[in-house]
Structure 1
Amino acid sequence: MGTGCALAMLAACGQRDVILPGERLDIRDGMATQQVETANIAAPISLGAQVANADWTHRGGSATHNMPHLALSETPTLAFAASIGQGDSRRNRITADPIVVDGVVYTVDAALNLAATATNGAALWSVSLMPAGERTELSGAALAYGGGMIFATTAFGELIALSPANGGVIWRQDLGASGASAPTYQGGVVYVVGQDNRAWAIDAEDGTIRYTKNSNPVAAQYGYGPGVAVTSEYAIFPFSSGQLVGAFKNGGMTRWTDSVGGERLGYALNALDGITAGPVVDGSTVYYGNSTGMIVALNLSDGTRRWSAQEGAVNTVYPVGGSVFAVNDINELVRIDARTGDVVWAVQMPDLIERRMGKSRAAVAHYGPVVAGGHVIVASSDGALRLFDPVSGALARQIELPSGAASAPVVAGGVLYVVNKDGQLLAFR
């Protein structure tokens, strides 16, 4: 380039900007990943009669991860706070949702201690899930119940069967993969997926392996994942590769596969493609999603897509009353039409917590939702239990949740239970 040209360009840089006339368009217009402003609609909904469930046996409530409109007071209040052991620390976190069986609540603290607490708050027993002789500090566990046993997966790559009476170990199975998913029990078999993208069907009686399934390995993934959904005929395996596999539960032969995609522009979560909202089976439909901008509805029998919504989901979705409720990847509580996948309303929830002097901020984690007592309920790490109107999404009630949530809320026997970051089991009646 000649000197004259260079000087001309420099001179041009010093000139006043020319504002061109015409309509301004967003450069993302027309892109599949574009965030669209939702026109909230107060649409009628019939949640059905409240169901008085006695137990909550799995993450998501049942082996299909599907629960109805549950019985709970419209104005629940804190009944008790009972210690379950160690709370969150800089190195360890609580990851297990509570399960409730026969009037006992089972929880796992940040140090992998399994505790049994009566529904009046009394401590019954506590045992360590740490392998014998192990000193490495790892956290991460999940629980399920079935066939008269408690099943626990841990960050040490074990699936453990324990007695609900005293926590005694019945058998241990080394899966060889850390951060296994929440276990699922159905018909004498326990199903689990490891973060090495292998899945197992394990005999509940003695811990022997019936069959395994594999998916493609990935480099970036979550430390633990959602559980397998199991019906009378199918087992739906969610892999951290983003692949969902529908298989015949007897023998494990693959019936269909699907893979979730989508991305939310400008968010670091795009680097993690794994399934975060594990499969939920509601009648003939399977719902699942990821944290990068997609929720999908599939036909259970053949895996064909019914719809896909440009909304990520960080937790298990909750289908009820012809709608699907979810906390999306940008901290909105959303209601989606279960027939079409269209968003009915989206409500922004707190995103960041201001720290002292405004020098730093921490992200708010939201757990749930669960639909109970006529409300859509979310437990949050900022110290609030929020109850929303399912018709409009309006905040109906906010209840103090001491120390902030560390688990999803679960409902059984007309009581809502949630574990807080200090390692306490909170009960709201």
Structure 2
Amino acid sequence: MSGHIFSPRSLKLKTLTMLAGASLLLSACSMFESSDPEVIIEGDRISILQLEKQLVPEDIANKENMYLPPAWQNEYWPQNGGYPNHAMHNLSLGTEDKAVSRIWSANIGQGTTKKLPLSASPVVFEKQIFAMDTTQHVTALSTENGKEQWRIDLKPEDEDENVTGGGISVANGVVYVTSGFNEAYALSAADGEQIWESKLPAPARSAPTVISGRAFIITADSRLVCLSADTGEILWEYQGISEMTGLTGTASPAADSDIVVPAFSSGEIYALRIENGSVAWSDNLSPVRRYSGMDDLVEIRGLPVIAREVVIAISFGGRMVAIDTRSGQRIWARSIGGSQTPWVAGDYIYVLTSDSELVALSRMSGQVVWVDALPAYEDVKDREDPIIWRGPVMANDRVFIVGSNGEMREYDPRSGEQITSWDTKESIALPPIIAGGTLYLTAESGKILAYR
């Protein structure tokens, strides 16, 4: 599916028409109101349409033969989502059967504030972990003990306010940073010295994706900008459809071989040729039917994943798809929404849904293997203190997710049985990352926590 179907004006007219129709319906209903006393039905009210969306395990042919790869140790986690294709499979953690324990924690600067969330995921390269706080300070820490190696302030001198957005990537000893303003930077990983600075056409919203000597950045106006990784020169741009969003940040593009796959706030996803930005194919992840106001948030916040020549993508509004990277044809589509990145491991896909569920799917068919319903609130009875779940990641044949309440859960990847849970004693801001046999968490307080 390609082309720009809806313009802002047509969407506005459509909305006004719907509101007018709703007003007429309400007026008509009032004419037939009964004089009988109103009957109050006690109990929670649950939308029947929402019930239709609940996921259940499905019968899958040859389920017992679904492949789960052995654990492998990745020394680096160099970009948002791991590697540029965002497919990390089954990683190795320092302990096989033992419980992980915290080995150090370190401060990276200012954490989440009332106005600004901590949104830049850290990256790991050559025994260093690089992170950015909410005041545009980039810090390099030792992965051995958390000791600070260097720290640099990238907030422009003429800017008074801090902003959210942007992120960090590292490749070939160079740290690439977008800070949420109109600049992109290249820094030396060794000492933080600036190599180049590039002016962007609009504020950056994604961390850079770096591959084949190019850095790809999505800006606030839904534009993909391709920079030379060596000089910062803009090589080409692609303009997507811009749409208002209620989610923080933007998914970093996925890239593999000769294509880059950006996802925009409109719910559109494209495969563009790395060389010149020409369109190979496009799709749209807006839901076919909208059940609630939440479905209107069609943005793709979870990172697209490229695995075995298939693109896996999910929108918050309730659409998850698998697309052939060469033809652009959908292999399957499901009415599943979420804002976290799907995790691909062999024949399995693990994903957190916007309905607070951890789901395992068949990579080939999209069928549901297992589902675990997660608590959406710390105070379930009064529905107070919502829990935001982050992840998943997979290591040592275990699926890890972590809640904003600090709870870490570990699951059996085949059965969905919860193996254990433990308390990080911190409010967690971002999904876990794993590198060098160590699991790293980013706390809302502005700390990096290392576990092994």
TM-score, normalising length: structure 1: 0.89
Which residue number corresponds to residue 36 of structure 2? 14
1:3-402 map, 5 Å: 13-14=35-36, 34-39=52-57, 44=64, 45-72=66-93, 73=95, 74=97, 75-119=99-143, 120-220=145-245, 222-262=247-287, 267-354=292-379, 361-402=384-425
Asked if the contact 1:34–1:265 (Cα under 8 Å) also holds between the matched residues in 2, the reply is no
Residue correspondences, number: 408
Which residue number corresponds to residue 23 of structure 2? none
Asked if the contact 1:179–1:224 (Cα under 8 Å) also holds between the matched residues in 2, the reply is no
Deviations 1:3-44 (A, max 9, x none): xxxxxx88x743999xxxxxxxx9957x9x931441478964
Which residue number corresponds to residue 411 of structure 1? 434
Identity %, equivalent residues: 26
Q: Give the Cα–Cα distance (whole angstroms) in 2 for the partners of residues 360 and 329 of structure 1.
A: 16
Which residue number corresponds to residue 422 of structure 1? 445
Deviations 1:349-386 (A, max 9, x none): 2212339xx98823211111111011111122111111
Q: Give the Cα–Cα distance (whole angstroms) in 1 for the partners of residues 295 and 329 of structure 2.
A: 25
| Higher mean C-alpha deviation, range 97-106 or range 146-155 | 146-155
Deviations 1:90-120 (A, max 9, x none): 1222101110000001111122211111012
Asked if the contact 1:56–1:62 (Cα under 8 Å) also holds between the matched residues in 2, the reply is yes
Deviation at 1:323, TM superposition (A): 1.0
Q: Give the Cα–Cα distance (whole angstroms) in 2 for the partners of residues 262 and 408 of structure 1.
A: 25
**SS in structure 1 opposite 2:149?**
strand
Asked if the contact 1:308–1:341 (Cα under 8 Å) also holds between the matched residues in 2, the reply is yes
Deviation at 1:179, TM superposition (A): 4.5
Q: Give the Cα–Cα distance (whole angstroms) in 2 for the partners of residues 38 and 264 of structure 1.
A: 20
Q: Give the Cα–Cα distance (whole angstroms) in 2 for the partners of residues 221 and 307 of structure 1.
A: 27
Asked if the contact 1:331–1:351 (Cα under 8 Å) also holds between the matched residues in 2, the reply is yes
| Higher mean C-alpha deviation, range 256-265 or range 339-348 | 256-265
Q: Which amino acid aligns with 1:383?
A: G
**Could you say if the C-alpha distance between residues 133 and 336 of structure 1 is closer, same or farther in structure 2, counting changes exceeding 3 Å?**
same
Deviation at 1:157, TM superposition (A): 2.9
Deviation at 1:188, TM superposition (A): 0.7
Q: Give the Cα–Cα distance (whole angstroms) in 2 for the partners of residues 421 and 323 of structure 1.
A: 31
**SS in structure 2 opposite 1:145?**
strand
Deviations 1:263-282 (A, max 9, x none): 78665432321112222100
Q: Which amino acid aligns with 1:374?
A: D
Deviations 1:105-162 (A, max 9, x none): 1111122211111012212121112112321122333111113211111221322111
Asked if the contact 2:104–2:146 (Cα under 8 Å) also holds between the matched residues in 1, the reply is yes
| Higher mean C-alpha deviation, range 238-247 or range 263-272 | 263-272
Gaps of 5+ in 2: 1-31, 40-45
Q: Give the Cα–Cα distance (whole angstroms) in 2 for the partners of residues 155 and 96 of structure 1.
A: 10
Q: Give the Cα–Cα distance (whole angstroms) in 1 for the partners of residues 187 and 342 of structure 2.
A: 29
Asked if the contact 1:71–1:373 (Cα under 8 Å) also holds between the matched residues in 2, the reply is yes
Which residue number corresponds to residue 14 of structure 2? none
Superposition RMSD in Å: 2.5
**Could you say if the C-alpha distance between residues 155 and 13 of structure 1 is closer, same or farther in structure 2, counting changes exceeding 3 Å?**
same
**SS in structure 1 opposite 2:121?**
coil
Q: Give the Cα–Cα distance (whole angstroms) in 2 for the partners of residues 399 and 109 of structure 1.
A: 26
Gaps of 5+ in 1: 1-8, 18-25
**SS in structure 2 opposite 1:238?**
coil
Asked if the contact 1:108–1:141 (Cα under 8 Å) also holds between the matched residues in 2, the reply is no
**Could you say if the C-alpha distance between residues 62 and 254 of structure 1 is closer, same or farther in structure 2, counting changes exceeding 3 Å?**
same
**SS in structure 2 opposite 1:276?**
coil
**Could you say if the C-alpha distance between residues 410 and 16 of structure 1 is closer, same or farther in structure 2, counting changes exceeding 3 Å?**
closer
**SS in structure 1 opposite 2:178?**
strand
**SS in structure 2 opposite 1:393?**
coil
**Could you say if the C-alpha distance between residues 27 and 346 of structure 1 is closer, same or farther in structure 2, counting changes exceeding 3 Å?**
closer
Deviation at 1:288, TM superposition (A): 0.5
